[in-house]
Amino acid sequence: MSDHSSLVGGSSADRYINCLGAAQLGKSVPVPMVGAAAHLGTALHYVMEALLKPEATAVPRDLIGDVVELDETDAGGNPVKIELTEALVLMKIQPAIDWFEQVLKPDQYWLEERVEFKGELEGAFGTADVLYIKDGTAGVVDWKFGGHRVSAKNNAQLQFYLAAALQSEWFYDMTVKEGLMHFEAHIVQPSFQYRAGNAKAMEDIANRARYSFEDLCLFHASLRWAKKMKDEGNHTLSCGRWCQFCRAQPVCPAWSQRGSDAIASLKKVPVEGAVFKSGAKKGETKPVSPAVQSKATLALEAEDTIRERYLEATALSGWCEAVKKYVADRFAAGAPIKGLKRVVHREVRMWKDEEKARLWAKAKGLGASEYNTPRALISVAKMEALLGEGTLKESLVQKAPRGIAVVRENDPRPSVDGFESSSSSALSDALNKT
């Protein structure tokens, strides 16, 4: 694994092209801590590279119980260590290796290959998980170990890797000069094979797209155009799918305006002919709330309008979640927002010791695939559903807070932080200006 380009890399290419102002706006937002899911993904990429090296002799099962130590630290400043549990190895690593060896079967391949642009885009680079050549075709493979489904079609990250690889003389000579004018791109997601109950064909853990040499040249031109616009001072903000992993989305003026416009569009007066009698005496009308009015309006609108509103609401829900996460991260960083505080959300049953619970489940006759998920032991509720109510050994279970919620400061629940959110600090004051 490698560092990231300060100009543009594979994961930021879509945003770089479609939102000219994202990079500049991002400078006003603190860089968030790397989460556990990202650490896990990094560790699994290391494992894939080690197992696929030509000289490797180990098989996935050999690694069960091993610990991968990353060159990264957690929130407490401790080195990040990832244990390769049986569930991780059998549900994530093994399916990916099987797909590579049994389905792709490349003639030649290169692992964790750094690819970079030249000329106007010098400084733009990324790391392709796998570049390969097979039977007159060439392509790229990207491992995705999370639970978010990603398509290889119209995928800027994969186009970035292929277009950048073609800047390398060795890859260009082995492909385009040899008459290879079409390239394949694969997203491999083992999690989805597991979720399908292992009933799907091995090919289905991956999805593929084809890009022509012309497609990649056009993509390269789009990157150059975006850089030219930025160099000329054009930092226009634009909302879209590319915002999903942008850390500046919660404070983006374009998204705020989009949200305001959507809310305003629902605050319409009733359409002519709509009659509201709720709570009114005979022969009278009574004012109703905007919510009731908008329901009546929606009921009379054309289906295509409702469809567009639904799609807009779906997009805005992602922005709302990003805003919530931004606020939660502010509190976690010791920079509370005035007028808000953190409280315990609610209590749920959790395992005291997952290893003891696994042994207990095994003794009850359950198989590993029944009581494990790709990441951990199944929840207490799911275990109870499998074995029947009242069968759980209570000494294995405890009640614990289910997360922390951020609420208004006048909420009656006590703050978990032990301070009022209106307290000031240098960091809080600085962040409140963003």
* Percent above pLDDT 90 for the chain: 46
**What is the identity of the amino acid at 182?**
H
| pLDDT-derived band at 261, boundaries 50, 70, 90 | confident
Domain with CATH 3.90.320 in the chain: 13-243
Window from 292-296, 366-370, 408-412 with minimum mean pLDDT? 292-296
Q: What is the rounded distance in angstroms from the CA atom of residue 408 to the CA atom of residue 339?
A: 6
pLDDT in tens, 214-230: 999 999 999 999 999 99
Q: What is the pLDDT of residue 309?
A: 75
Q: What is the pLDDT of residue 367?
A: 85
* Percent above pLDDT 70 for the chain: 83
Pairing of strands 79-83, 67-73: antiparallel
| pLDDT-derived band at 269, boundaries 50, 70, 90 | very low
Residues in the chain: 434
Residue 376: phi and psi, rounded to 5, are -160, -175
List, as one string, the DSSP characters of 144-172.
Answer: --SSS---STT-HHHHHHHHHHTTSHHHH
CATH code, 13-243: 3.90.320
> What is the C-alpha radius of gyration for the chain, rounded to an integer number of angstroms?
26
- How large is the average pLDDT for residues 381-408? 82
DSSP state of 32: P
- How large is the average pLDDT for residues 391-408? 81
CA atoms within 13 A on the CB side of 223: 30
Cβ 174 vs Cβ 138: under 8 Å: yes
Q: What is the rounded distance in angstroms from the CA atom of residue 37 to the CA atom of residue 414?
A: 30
Most confident of 178-187, 317-326, 334-343: 178-187
Q: What is the rounded distance in angstroms from the CA atom of residue 158 to the CA atom of residue 128?
A: 8
Residue 422 clears pLDDT 70, i.e. is over it? no
| pLDDT-derived band at 132, boundaries 50, 70, 90 | very high
